[in-house]
Amino acid sequence: MDVFVETERLILRRLTEDDADNLVELDGDSEVMRFINGGRPTPREEIENDVLPAFLRYYERFAGYGFWAAEEKTAARFVGWFHLRPTPESPPGEVELGYRLRRSAWGKGYATEGSRALIEKAFAELGVERVFATTMVVNVASRRVMEKAGLRFVRIFHQAWPYRIEGDEKGDAEYALLRSEWEQETEAPTAAARPASLS
Ligand SMILES: CC(C)(COP(=O)(O)OP(=O)(O)OC[C@H]1O[C@@H](n2cnc3c(N)ncnc32)[C@H](O)[C@@H]1OP(=O)(O)O)[C@@H](O)C(=O)NCCC(=O)NCCS
């Protein structure tokens, strides 16, 4: 197994061709796909011919970036994926964070845990200058993950989308963290760590 990041409860590893079934099941849940495309499952053919090959191509094109399968350590169970990737629109040094988890894994703090680990990796090891993430304004769980992972609200924007999704009239939200902000936060002592005389 090609492990990229390990957290307290998760392993983020490279995807392989054997993950096709995992991805079919993940994208087969209309609740998972609700804010992605309005709830339509991705057909197996599309996973096998387009989605998975595109995920695997990232490893050849970018060192340290791409899509990572998340597995629960205890059960070695696939729970979804995270990505940390440059996008065609983003300037060098900027990477986009994203995640998609199985419904059975929601509400356990996994998205926050994996996101924090990737943000740490991006700044501490990969030399990234800015990590950003976007989601539909109405995707409250995803916005909450961005906040809990330490990203800061940047803006609401509107973009053309090939599908109609309930709530899309409210637009998308962008959150981000700059290297300078990350450095300040990692250097700042927490209240608990501060000497008593300063509290
Ligand atoms: C978004 C997603 C990754 C969150 O995963 P998760 O592991 O459940 O997230 P976490 O447990 O780390 O945190 C979720 C937070 O959102 C909150 N939340 C979840 N649903 C909510 C809702 N409907 N309204 C308000 N808050 C909500 C949770 O209470 C939690 O916050 P808290 O810790 O302050 O209580 C998961 O729901 C998912 O995969 N959804 C489908 C795919 C998707 O939408 N991906 C994002 C596309 S941009």
pLDDT value at position 189? 56
Asked if 102 contacts 69 with a C-beta cutoff of 8 angstroms, the reply is no
pLDDT digits (tens, 9 = 90+) for 68-98: 999 999 999 999 999 999 998 889 999 999 9
Atom of ligand 1 nearest to the CA of 145: 13
Ligand 1 atom 45: residue of nearest CA: 100
pLDDT value at position 199? 34
CA of 121 to the centre of ligand 1 (A): 22
CA of 36 to the centre of ligand 1 (A): 14
**Ligand 1 and 140: CB distance under 6 A:** yes
Which residue in the block uniquely carries the two structure tokens 């998760």? 10
pLDDT digits (tens, 9 = 90+) for 19-76: 999 999 999 999 999 999 999 999 999 999 999 999 999 999 888 899 999 999 999 9
Cα(53)–Cα(47) distance, integer angstroms: 8
